[in-house]
Amino acid sequence: MIAAVPIPWLVLLPALLLTGTALLVMVADLWMEGPDRDGLGWLGIAGLVVALIASVTLWNQHEGGFGGTLVLDRYALFFNLVFCLAAGLTLLMSMNYLEFTDIRVGDYYSLIVFATLGMVLMAAAADLIVIFLGLEVMSIAVYVLAGIWRQQQRSTEAALKYFLLGAFATGFLLFGIALLYGATGTTALAGISAQVLKVGGEQRLLLLAGMALLLIGFGFKVAAVPFHVWTPDVYEGAPTSITALMAVGVKAAAFAAFVRVFVQALGALTAEWAPVLWVLAVLTMTAGNVIALLQQNIKRMLAYSSIAHAGYLVLGLIAARDGGGGAVLFYLVVYALMNLGAFAVVIALGQRGAANEQLDDYAGVGFRHPFLGFAMSVFMLSLAGLPPLAGFAGKFYLFAAAVKAGYIGLAVIGVLNSVVSMYYYAGVLVKMYMVEGGAAVAEVTTRPYLVATVILTVIGTLLLGVFPSFTHELARQAFLSLG
Amino acid sequence: MLSLIVFTPLLGGLFVLLMQRDNLPAIRRAAFVLSLLPLGLSLRLLAGFDAAEAGMQFVESAAWIPQFNIRYQVGIDGISLWLVLLTTFLTPLVIVAGWGDVHKRVKEYMFFMLALETGMLGAFVALDLFLFYVFWEVMLIPMYFLIGVWGGPRRIYAAIKFVLFTMTGSLLMLVAILYLASAHAQQSGQLSFDMLRLYDLSLPLAQQRWLFAAFALAFAIKVPMFPLHTWLPDAHVEAPTGGSVILAGILLKLGTYGFLRLAIPLFPVAAAQAVPLMMVLAVIGIIYGALVAMVQPDLKKLVAYSSVSHLGFVMLGLFAFNHQGVMGGIYQMLNHGLSTGALFLLVGVIYERRHTRLISEFGGLWQQLPVYAVCFLIVMLSSVGLPGLNGFVGEFLILLGAFNAHPALGALATSGVVLGAVYMLWMFQRVMFGPLSNPANQRLTDMSRLERAVLAPILVMIVVMGVYPQPFLRRMEPAVNAYLARIEKQVADHRASETLVAQSAGTLALHQPVR
CB–CB contact B105 A408 (8 Å): no
Contact B112, B140 (CB under 8 A): no
CA distance B112 to chain A (A): 13
Q: Which of A65-69, A119-123, A291-295, B217-221 has the lowest mean pLDDT?
A: A65-69
Cβ-based burial of A66 (10 A; exposed 0-12, middle 13-18, buried ≥19):
middle
Report the residue of chain A nearest B138, measured CA to CA.
A387
Q: Which residues in A have their CB inside 8 Å of a CB on B?
A: 367, 381, 386-388, 392, 396, 399-400, 403-404, 408, 411-412, 415-416, 418-419, 422-423, 426-427, 429-430, 433-435, 468-469, 472-473, 476
Label residue B514 by pLDDT band (50, 70, 90). Answer: very low
Label residue A443 by pLDDT band (50, 70, 90). Answer: low
pLDDT for position A3: 62
Is the pLDDT at B2 greater than 80? The verdict is: yes
pLDDT for position B13: 92
- B366-379 confidence digits (pLDDT tens): 888 889 999 999 99
> For chain B, what is the mean pLDDT?
90
Closest CA to A89 of A347, A295, A312, A368: A347
Contact B308, B285 (CB under 8 A): yes
Q: Alpha-carbon distance B12 to B459, whole Å?
A: 27
- B470-487 confidence digits (pLDDT tens): 999 999 999 999 999 999
Of the two residues B435 and A436, the one the predictor is more confident about is: B435
CB–CB contact A430 B140 (8 Å): no
DSSP symbol at A152: -
Q: What mean pLDDT comes out for the span A401-419?
A: 93
Q: Alpha-carbon distance B242 to B111, whole Å?
A: 13
Is the pLDDT at A437 greater than 70? The verdict is: no
| Interface mutation vs chain B, best among A469, A473, A480, most B CBs within 10 Å | A469
CA distance B140 to chain A (A): 9
Question: Which residues of B are less than 8 Å from A426 in CB distance?
Answer: 144, 160, 163
Contact B299, B347 (CB under 8 A): yes
- A73-83 confidence digits (pLDDT tens): 999 999 999 99
Is the pLDDT at A398 greater than 70? The verdict is: yes
Q: What mean pLDDT comes out for the span A121-145?
A: 94
Interface contact B141, partner A, CB < 8 A = yes
Q: What mean pLDDT comes out for the span A164-181?
A: 92
Contact A195, A185 (CB under 8 A): yes
Among B105, B138, B156, the residue with its CB nearest the CB of A430 is: B156
Interface contact B207, partner A, CB < 8 A = no
Q: Alpha-carbon distance B71 to A386, whole Å?
A: 19
CA distance A385 to chain B (A): 10
pLDDT for position B512: 47
Is the pLDDT at A439 greater than 70? The verdict is: no
Label residue A33 by pLDDT band (50, 70, 90). Answer: low
Is the pLDDT at A354 greater than 90? The verdict is: no
Q: What mean pLDDT comes out for the span B410-420?
A: 90
Q: What mean pLDDT comes out for the span B34-52?
A: 91
The model carries a pTM of 0.92
Question: Which residues of B are less than 8 Å from A473 in CB distance?
Answer: 67
| Interface mutation vs chain A, best among B182, B184, B190, B193, most A CBs within 10 Å | B182
- B279-304 confidence digits (pLDDT tens): 999 999 999 999 999 999 999 999 99
Q: How many CB pairs under 8 A join A and B?
A: 84
pLDDT for position B515: 40
Q: Residue B131, Cα to own-chain centre: how many angstroms?
A: 19
pLDDT for position B80: 92
pLDDT for position B161: 92
Compute how many other C-beta atoms are within 10 angstroms of the C-beta atom of residue B48: 10
Q: What mean pLDDT comes out for the span A167-173?
A: 91
Provide the residue type at B242 as one letter.
G
pLDDT for position B367: 86
CB–CB contact A399 B175 (8 Å): yes
Q: What mean pLDDT comes out for the span B482-504?
A: 84
Interface contact B65, partner A, CB < 8 A = yes
CB–CB contact A469 B156 (8 Å): no
- A450-483 confidence digits (pLDDT tens): 999 999 999 999 999 999 999 999 999 999 998 7
Is the pLDDT at A442 greater than 70? The verdict is: no
Any residues with CB less than 8 A from the CB of B159 and at least 6 apart, and which? Answer: A430, A434, B144, B145, B147, B148, B151, B235, B238
- Phi and psi dihedrals of B297, rounded to 5? -80, -20
CB–CB contact B67 A426 (8 Å): no
- Burial state string for A383-402 with b = 16 or more CB within 10 A and e = fewer than 16: bbbbbbbbbbbbbbbbbbbb
Closest CA to B415 of B286, B293, B236: B286
Label residue A340 by pLDDT band (50, 70, 90). Answer: very high
Is the pLDDT at B513 greater than 50? The verdict is: no
CA distance B137 to chain A (A): 6
Q: Which of A112-121, A355-364, A432-441 has the lowest mean pLDDT?
A: A432-441
Q: Alpha-carbon distance B466 to B40, whole Å?
A: 24
Label residue A135 by pLDDT band (50, 70, 90). Answer: very high
Q: What mean pLDDT comes out for the span A326-354?
A: 91
- A233-258 confidence digits (pLDDT tens): 999 999 999 999 999 999 999 999 99
- B22-31 confidence digits (pLDDT tens): 888 888 999 9
Q: What mean pLDDT comes out for the span A184-203?
A: 88
Label residue A34 by pLDDT band (50, 70, 90). Answer: low
CB–CB contact A419 B160 (8 Å): no
Among A367, A468, A469, the residue with its CB nearest the CB of B105 is: A367
- B67-100 confidence digits (pLDDT tens): 899 999 999 999 999 999 999 999 999 999 888 8
Q: Alpha-carbon distance B388 to B394, whole Å?
A: 11
Runs of H (alpha helix) within B385-406: 390-405
CB–CB contact A469 B65 (8 Å): yes
CB–CB contact A419 B164 (8 Å): yes
**Residues linked to residue A351 through DSSP beta bridges, in sequence order:** A354
Q: Which of A105-109, A207-211, A213-217 has the lowest mean pLDDT?
A: A105-109
Contact B251, B143 (CB under 8 A): yes
Of the two residues B180 and A435, the one the predictor is more confident about is: B180
pLDDT for position B341: 93
Is the pLDDT at B507 greater than 70? The verdict is: no
Interface contact B68, partner A, CB < 8 A = yes
CB–CB contact A433 B164 (8 Å): no
Contact B201, B180 (CB under 8 A): yes
- Burial state string for B66-87 with b = 16 or more CB within 10 A and e = fewer than 16: eebbbbbbbbbbbbbbbbbbbb
pLDDT for position B264: 92
> For chain A, what is the mean pLDDT?
90
Q: Alpha-carbon distance B252 to B240, whole Å?
A: 16
Q: What mean pLDDT comes out for the span A274-295?
A: 94
Interface contact B182, partner A, CB < 8 A = yes
CB–CB contact B148 A434 (8 Å): yes
Report the residue of chain A nearest B161, measured CA to CA.
A423
